[in-house]
C-alpha cells in the first residue's frame, strides 16, 4: 500500500513546494489540509502514516499547543512531525522554539529541511510511544527529601523492603521492567487483592487522557515473600487486564491521591508524576478494609521514585537510539550496523538463509563540496538517503557508514536479488537531480560493492570488508557500476582450507563457524 501523510498548514496557506517534492520523490503521497479548528477541509480514504505541520519562526507555544490539541482530537493515533518553514529555499538560522520545546508540546520529531522527512517518517514508525504527556498547566515538581518521607511509624521490615524497592528501581531497563519492579515491592509492603500500574495515553476523549495497563498483580498469583530466591521468581504473573476505575482516571486529571468505593471494592489511586508530566497511575483494590493513612502515606512516598524510574527508562531508551543515529541524515550509523548485522547473521545461520550487504560510495562527491560548499554537500547527503530508502524493504537496514558512504543490509536476500536492488538504487541516484537545498541541479553517480553471506563471507566483519573491496573494484572499473566480491575461498585460498587464525573466524567443536 502506498504511503501517505497529511500536511497541515495555517488557513489559506499551501505546503511549501520543497516539502511536497521531497515526499513525492520518496514515494509518499501528500494530502493537504488546513488548520481551521475543525476537520471539514480533510476528506480522504487513505490511511496516513503521520501528520506534518509547518512551524513558522514566529510561532508561539500557546498557539502550537492549541494546534497539537486539535490534531490529537481529530487524529488521535497519528505522530506529529514539525516542519520548519524555510526562507528563500534555505533553512532558517533563527529557529524560534527549539526542538526540545516543540517535543514537549507534542511533536514526535522535527525536520529542519525537507530532505530529512523520509527518514524521520520511517523513524517514527519504529518508535513505540512512551505514554508521556505534554506539560499541563504550570505543574512543577521539585525533587528533594520531603518527596520521599516515609511514615514515622513504619516497621523495620517494611523499611528494608521500601529501601530495597527504591534501590532496585535504579536497575530498570525499560518501562515494563520498572513497572514489574515497582509492583514486586508494593505487594510486599501493602496487602491488596489487586495492584495495577497504568500509563497515561493521549486520546480524542474530552479530557484527552486514557489509561493503558502496563503490569498487574492479582491475589490469584503467588505473592512475593522474603524467602523467595532468584530474580526470576520476582516476575509478576500477568493476567487479563483489570477494568480501569473511575478513581484512577480522576487521579490522572487531578494529579492527587484519591480513595473511593467502586463495585464494592476499596480502591486507592496514586498519580505518578515526573517533572511536568503525569506518567501513570498506581491503583490498588481490596474487598475488606479501607487503605489506612499510613498506607496512603507510604504510597505517596514511593510514587516519586517509581515515576522517576519510568521516566528514566524512557530517557535511557532515547539515548541509546540517538547514539545509533546519524545526526545529519537521521539514518542509523555504523555502531548500529554492527549490532544489526550480528543478529541477522545469527538468524541466517540458524535458518540457512542469506544476508546481502551493499557498500555504496558516491563518485567524486568532493567536487560538490568544493564547488558549492559543505552545507550544500550535507543537504545532498540527506537527499541521497531519501532516494535510497524507497528502494528497500522495511525489514532492511540503511546505514550512513561515514562521509559519503552508505551501507544497505538486505535480509534473506541472495546474490541475484541483491544485484537488482543495487542497480535500482544506482539508476535512481544517477537519474535524480539533487537540489542541495538551493534549487540547484546536481548530478551524481555511485559505485556499488555487493557481498552475500555465506557465499562470500562467514562473519559480519568479513561481509562488510568484502562489500567494501568490491566497491573499490567498481571504482577501478570506471565508477557508476556494480561489482560483486570474489568468493571466500578465492580470497583466502589455502588459508580457508586450513582455517588459519589470521582469518577473522574460528572453528568450534560442533563445526559451526562463528564471528
Q: Work out the end-to-end distance of the chain between its first and last CA atoms, rounded to an integer number of angstroms.
A: 38
At residue 474, the pLDDT reads 95
CATH topology for 334-514 is Alpha-Beta Plaits (3.30.70)
Q: Concatenated DSSP letters for 371-410?
A: HH-HHHHHHHHHHHHHHHGGGS-TTSEEEEEETTEEEEEE
Q: Which residues touch 459 (CB under 8 Å, ≥6 apart)? A: 345, 504, 505, 513, 514, 515
Of 202, 224, 51, 219, give the one whose Cα is nearest residue 121: 51
Distance (Å, whole) CA 512 – CA 285: 54
Phi, psi torsion values for 326, nearest 5 degrees: -75, 125
At residue 276, the pLDDT reads 67
Of 170, 108, 488, 167, give the one whose Cα is nearest residue 318: 108
At residue 314, the pLDDT reads 81
Of 154, 191, 195, 198, give the one whose Cα is nearest residue 307: 198
CATH number of the domain located at residue range(s) 3-127 in this protein: 3.40.50.280
Sequence ranges of the chain with CATH classification 3.30.450.40:
145-318
CB 46 within 8 A of CB 31: yes
Show the cell assigned to 21: 517534492
At residue 242, the pLDDT reads 58
pLDDT digits (tens, 9 = 90+) for 124-160: 776 544 444 333 333 344 455 555 677 777 878 888 8
Sequence ranges of the chain with CATH classification 3.40.50.280:
3-127
At residue 11, the pLDDT reads 52
The CA-CA-CA angle for residues 161, 153, 178, to 5°, reads 30
Sequence ranges of the chain with CATH classification 3.30.70.270:
334-514
- Is pTM beyond 0.85? Reply is no
Cis previous bond, 454, omega within 30 = yes
Distance (Å, whole) CA 286 – CA 193: 5
Distance (Å, whole) CA 182 – CA 215: 10
In CATH terms, 145-318 corresponds, of 2.40.30.10, 3.90.1150.10, 2.70.70.10, 3.30.450.40, to: 3.30.450.40
Distance (Å, whole) CA 354 – CA 412: 5
At residue 509, the pLDDT reads 43
Mark the ranges of the chain whose per-residue pLDDT is less than 70: 1-2, 10-14, 32-47, 76-77, 86-96, 126-148, 202-209, 219-244, 276, 487-515
The 3-state secondary structure of 198-267, one letter per residue: EEEEECCCCCCEEEEEEEEEECCCCCCCCCCCCHHHHCCCCCCCCCCCHHHHHHHHHCCCEEEEECCEEE
Amino acid at each position: 500500500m502506498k504511503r501517505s501523510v497529511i500536511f497541515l498548514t495555517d488557513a489559506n496557506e499551501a505546503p511549501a513546494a520543497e516539502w511536497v517534492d521531497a515526499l513525492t520523490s520518496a514515494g509518499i503521497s501528500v494530502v493537504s489540509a488546513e488548520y481551521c479548528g475543525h476537520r471539514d477541509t480533510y476528506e480522504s480514504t487513505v490511511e496516513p502514516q503521520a501528520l506534518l505541520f509547518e512551524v513558522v519562526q514566529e510561532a508561539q507555544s500557546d498557539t502550537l499547543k492549541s494546534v497539537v490539541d486539535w490534531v490529537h482530537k481529530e487524529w488521535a493515533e497519528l505522530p506529529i512531525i514539525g516542519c520548519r518553514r524555510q526562507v528563500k529555499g534555505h533553512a532558517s538560522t533563527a529557529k524560534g522554539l527549539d526542538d526540545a520545546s516543540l517535543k514537549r508540546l507534542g511533536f514526535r520529531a522535527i525536520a529542519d529541511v525537507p530532505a530529512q522527512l523520509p527518514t524521520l517518517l520511517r523513524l517514527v514508525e519504529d518508535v513505540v510511544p512512551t505514554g508521556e504527556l505534554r506539560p499541563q498547566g504550570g505543574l512543577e515538581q521539585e525533587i528533594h527529601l520531603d518527596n520521599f518521607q516515609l511514615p514515622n511509624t513504619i516497621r523495620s521490615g517494611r523499611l528494608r523492603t521500601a529501601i530495597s524497592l527504591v534501590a532496585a528501581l535504579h536497575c530498570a531497563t525499560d518501562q515494563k521492567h520498572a513497572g514489574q519492579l515497582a509492583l514486586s515491592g508494593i505487594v510486599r509492603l501493602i496487602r491488596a487483592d489487586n495492584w495495577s500500574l497504568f500509563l497515561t495515553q493521549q486520546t480524542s476523549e474530552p479530557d484527552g487522557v486514557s489509561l493503558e495497563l502496563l503490569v498487574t498483580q492479582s491475589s490469584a498469583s503467588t505473592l512475593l515473600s522474603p524467602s523467595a530466591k532468584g530474580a526470576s521468581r520476582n516476575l509478576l504473573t500477568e493476567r487479563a487486564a483489570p477494568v480501569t476505575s473511575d478513581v484512577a482516571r480522576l487521579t490522572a486529571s487531578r494529579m492527587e491521591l484519591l480513595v473511593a468505593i467502586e463495585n464494592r471494592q476499596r480502591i486507592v489511586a496514586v498519580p505518578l508524576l515526573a517533572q511536568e508530566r503525569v506518567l501513570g497511575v498506581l491503583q490498588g483494590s481490596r474487598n475488606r478494609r479501607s487503605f489506612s493513612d499510613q498506607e496512603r502515606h507510604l504510597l505517596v512516598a514511593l510514587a516519586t521514585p517509581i515515576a522517576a524510574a519510568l521516566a528514566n527508562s524512557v530517557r535511557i531508551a532515547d539515548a541509546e537510539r540517538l547514539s545509533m543515529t546519524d545526526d545529519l541524515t537521521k539514518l542509523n550509523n555504523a555502531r548500529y550496523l554492527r549490532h544489526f548485522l550480528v543478529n541477522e547473521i545469527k538468524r541466517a545461520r540458524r535458518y540457512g538463509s542469506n544476508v546481502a550487504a551493499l557498500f555504496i560510495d558516491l563518485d567524486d562527491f568532493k567536487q560538490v563540496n568544493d564547488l558549492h560548499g559543505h552545507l550544500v554537500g550535507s543537504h545532498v547527503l540527506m537527499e541521497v538517503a531519501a532516494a535510497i530508502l524507497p528502494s528497500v524493504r522495511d525489514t532492511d537496514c540503511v546505514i550512513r557508514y561515514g562521509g559519503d558512504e552508505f551501507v544497505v543490509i538486505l535480509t534473506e536476500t541472495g546474490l541475484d536479488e541483491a544485484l537488482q536492488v543495487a542497480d535500482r538504487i544506482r539508476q535512481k541516484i544517477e537519474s535524480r537531480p539533487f537540489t542541495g537545498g538551493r534549487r540547484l541541479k546536481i548530478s551524481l553517480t555511485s559505485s556499488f560493492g555487493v557481498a552475500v553471506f555465506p557465499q562470500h563471507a562467514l562473519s559480519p566483519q568479513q561481509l562488510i570488508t568484502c562489500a567494501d573491496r568490491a566497491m573499490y573494484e567498481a571504482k577501478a572499473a570506471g565508477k557508476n557500476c556494480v561489482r560483486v566480491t570474489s568468493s571466500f575461498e578465492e580470497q583466502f585460498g589455502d588459508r580457508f582450507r586450513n582455517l588459519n587464525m589470521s582469518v577473522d573466524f574460528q572453528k568450534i567443536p560442533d563445526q559451526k563457524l562463528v564471528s
